[in-house]
Amino acid sequence: MVTRNMKIVESDISGEPGAETTLLGIKGEVLELDMTPAERAALEEVLAPYVARGRKLGPMSAKPSTPRRVPQTTPEERAEIRAWAKAEGYEVADHGQIPNAVVTAYRAAHSETVEGESPAA
């Protein structure tokens, strides 16, 4: 006996099989729409004058980006953290962002808590 499991994607517009998922960005939203190749071509034809005049921002992603949480530090505190980290054997650059793990370790060693985290025991 042979068992076949098949996934058939139907168009959200016409209900026809053979559709493919398309991402569409409009009004600050990213939408997912299942369309047949003919429906997609028709949409692209309608949007062509707008796309030709639009400004490219890069590829669109269905995954929302999450902002990175960067600890607030002063230039003096960053210098202290870098010096401490190097003395403790951490590899840190002389400039740029200090890894959150290093800042967390520094603050734990100095009995400070990082927002949303518990102090080290």
Per-residue pLDDT in tens (0 to 9) along the chain, 121 residues: 887 777 788 999 999 999 999 988 888 888 899 999 999 999 999 999 998 998 877 776 656 566 666 667 888 899 999 999 999 999 888 888 888 889 889 989 987 545 555 444 3
Measured CA angle at 76 (ends 95, 92), to 5 deg: 30
76 & 116 share domain: yes
Does some domain include residue 119? yes
> Tell me, what's the pLDDT at 120?
44
Does some domain include residue 14? no
> Tell me, what's the pLDDT at 65?
61
- Record the tokens describing residue 68, joined without a space: 């990175």
pTM of the model: 0.46
49 & 80 share domain: no
3-state SS, residue 93: coil
> Tell me, what's the pLDDT at 60?
64
Does some domain include residue 98? yes
> Tell me, what's the pLDDT at 67?
63
Does some domain include residue 6? no
Query: In terms of residue numbers, what domain contains 35?
Result: 20-53
* Number of domains forming the structure of the chain: 2
Backbone φ, ψ for residue 72 (5° rounding)? -80, 125
Does some domain include residue 5? no
Does some domain include residue 82? yes
- Record the tokens describing residue 111, joined without a space: 């009995």
Q: Tokens 């734990």 appear where? A: 108
Does some domain include residue 7? no
